[in-house]
Chains A and B, each alone.
Chain A
Amino acid sequence: MTAIDQPTPTPTRTAPPSRVRRTLTLAGAETRLLVRNRTALVNSVLLPLLLVAAVPGLGMDGGDGVGPQLLVAAVGVTLVFLTYYNLVTTFVARREDLVLQRMRTGELTEVEVLLGTAAPTLVVTVGQVVLVAAGTVVIGEWVAPVDVVLPLLALVGGVALMLLLAAASTSFTRTPESAQITTLPVVMATTALSGLLFPLSDLPEQLASVARVLPLTPVVELARLGLAGRAWDGTEVDAGGAWAAAPLPLAVLGAWLLAGAVVAPRVFRWAPRR
């Protein structure tokens, strides 16, 4: 009776799509939507690049060199202003339009729905960093990194953390427009105190210690260790020194990821509050 094993009348496919494939299907549709939305496209492609370009103008001289400084800024700025902000608005928009609730009635798992929805933003994030790296080569400011693994860990861990923070932030964001306000705490505090705009060693010691446990700081620290060979306090380090200085920021990043993974699924809502 329960004919789940019954042959289907006209099979169009021999095997069901893999999890990756079906998530990519959703990601494809979301990318199409991003391309068709001019405002969102400009916001996610042009704006972060302008912000990155403005960072060297702050006259912050940690001895990093323009190339590494631009690249570190690219990682930090893109993660907050593009990845985090875009994901909050996208998730909230899809939730309020009842799209997420519909996606949940299909075969995609909840994680697949969120990853598929987030995919264009994640791709643009990585693209921006690559673009800035290419840019530093073009303007002749490219400096070979002291270590490649640490900046990559910073980028991957940072993207994952922004995804979790964005998912959690949707719980107190009612509309895509209100995201401009609800994202401020993360955007302002983490950017200001990440070591991106001024060296954390300029701060009183206690405040610096606080700043170093904020979510974006370990990402910037790790990126700077590998790309510029500078520790958070400005000390110059080689590859060995970079790794020797890495355990604390890695632990902080890991702790944030863990906290995000615990909190985000608990507070995320799939449908508008009625």
Chain B
Amino acid sequence: MRIVEDPVPAVEVVDLERRYGTFAAVRGISFEVAPGEVFALLGVNGAGKTSALEVLEGLARPAAGTVRVLGRDPVADRAAVRPFLGVLLQASGLPGDLTVAETVRTWAGTLSTPQPVDEALAQVGLTDRADVRVRSLSGGERRRLDLTLALLGRPRVIVLDEPTTGLDPESRRAVWELVRRRVGEGAAVLLTTHHLEEAEELADRIAVMRAGRIVLSGTAGEIAATQPATIRFELAPDGPALPALPGAQLVSTGPRVELHTRALQPVLTRLLTWADAEGVVLTGLQARSATLEQAFLAVADGTDDVPRLVSPAA
């Protein structure tokens, strides 16, 4: 069975739900990933990320909703989807008594269009470790071997569940490079991560999940912009009082001042103009737009309903 060219997204998830008994792990999420795009699912542990991915990977059926990978149902059309799907599970095993090369060669022998084994090992810097038993690899080497297997079949859709957990910063950058190259070749990537830096580095779009729902989605910038910018400085105690700053919220006063605003530039301009005119020194002045991390922390762990959806799955 062949999957012909048609204008569907590489991954399409509509109103996906998953339940374990009475517990609803995923409560109706929707998103799409286009070829050549990286989409990141963020969320604290238990938010439902892995449960959602398992449906995409064809390892579980949805309780409700539909999932399409390259236009196909990953469970019903497994045989058609699998040759084009590369999966890196959050945790998976390999027999410890095979060498690295034997492991890759075995996996290659089960694939339709495998990369040459040498090339695949070189890509992740494991060439020197080819004859080492898997049992003797370090955690980072194991993860890179996992990634090698996930990418070995030249997948068009790549699902990476926490690809760099446990990797040192250098290995992490190497993994990012590898993923970027596949994206450049047109692969669609869906990844989960605990490292917000990783999402900012790699992802074109991000969705934040909380308790089985997507509570925020958009680019890293759009998500960060859901939180106000911060201005901080110190004032001499005997100086003139602050002027009215429309659009800014005074969070703390006294010598250390903190302002939150969604209009950073005009508020900052007004503040600096005032300081200039009054001859006031704003000691230790800082002005910072909100970060993805701030936005993430604000919604990911909360229990209140804050679905402030930015450009839902544009």
Instruction: Let me know if A107 and B111 touch, CB within 8 A.
Output: yes
For the complex formed, measure the closest distance between the CB of A61 and the CB atoms of chain B, giving whole angstroms: 46
Contacting residue for B2 out of A5, A21, A22, A106, CB 8 A: A5
What residues on B are CB-neighbors of A107 within 8 Å?
Answer: 82-83, 110-112, 153
For the residues of B in contact with A, the DSSP-based class is: loop
Instruction: Let me know if B116 and A98 touch, CB within 8 A.
Output: no
Q: In the complex, what distance in Å separates the CA atom of A6 from the CA atom of B4?
A: 9
For the complex formed, measure the closest distance between the CB of B136 and the CB atoms of chain A, giving whole angstroms: 13
Q: Among the interface residues B70, B89, B95, which one has the most CB atoms of the partner chain A within 10 A?
A: B95
For the complex formed, measure the closest distance between the CB of B181 and the CB atoms of chain A, giving whole angstroms: 12
Contacting residue for A101 out of B8, B92, B109, CB 8 A: B92
Contacting residue for B59 out of A25, A105, A109, CB 8 A: A105
Q: In the complex, what distance in Å separates the CA atom of A99 from the CA atom of B93?
A: 4
List CB contacts (< 8 Å) of B71-101 with chain A: 71, 78-79, 82-85, 87, 89, 91-95, 97-98
List CB contacts (< 8 Å) of A1-24 with chain B: 1-6, 8-13, 16-17, 21-22
The yes or no answer to A97 lying at the interface (CB within 8 A) is yes
What residues on B are CB-neighbors of A9 within 8 Å?
Answer: 154, 185
The yes or no answer to B57 lying at the interface (CB within 8 A) is yes
What residues on A are CB-neighbors of B102 within 8 Å?
Answer: 29, 32
Interface size class of A (residues with CB under 8 A): 35 or more
Q: In the complex, what distance in Å separates the CA atom of A32 from the CA atom of B101?
A: 13
Instruction: Let me know if A4 and B95 touch, CB within 8 A.
Output: no
For the complex formed, measure the closest distance between the CB of B289 and the CB atoms of chain A, giving whole angstroms: 35
What residues on B are CB-neighbors of A266 within 8 Å?
Answer: none
Known pairs A2-B71, A3-B35; A105 contacts B153 (CB<8 A): no
What residues on A are CB-neighbors of B92 within 8 Å?
Answer: 98-99, 101-102, 105
Q: In the complex, what distance in Å separates the CA atom of A130 from the CA atom of B95?
A: 30
For the complex formed, measure the closest distance between the CB of A248 and the CB atoms of chain B, giving whole angstroms: 40
What residues on A are CB-neighbors of B103 within 8 Å?
Answer: 29
The yes or no answer to B170 lying at the interface (CB within 8 A) is no
Interface size class of B (residues with CB under 8 A): 35 or more
What residues on B are CB-neighbors of A5 within 8 Å?
Answer: 2-5
Minimum CB distance partner of B150 in chain A: A105
For the complex formed, measure the closest distance between the CB of B19 and the CB atoms of chain A, giving whole angstroms: 16
Instruction: Let me know if A2 and B98 touch, CB within 8 A.
Output: no
Q: 10 A-B pairs, CB-CB below 8 angstroms? A: A2-B5, A5-B4, A10-B115, A10-B116, A97-B93, A98-B91, A98-B93, A107-B82, A107-B83, A109-B79
Give the interface of B toward A (CB within 8 A).
2-8, 10, 34-35, 57, 59, 70-71, 78-79, 82-85, 87, 89, 91-95, 97-98, 102-103, 106-107, 109-116, 149-150, 153-154, 156, 185-186
- 8 A-B pairs closest in CB distance: A25-B109, A98-B93, A16-B112, A4-B3, A102-B92, A97-B93, A105-B87, A29-B106
Give the interface of A toward B (CB within 8 A).
1-6, 8-13, 16-17, 21-22, 25-26, 28-29, 32-33, 36-37, 94, 97-99, 101-102, 104-109, 270
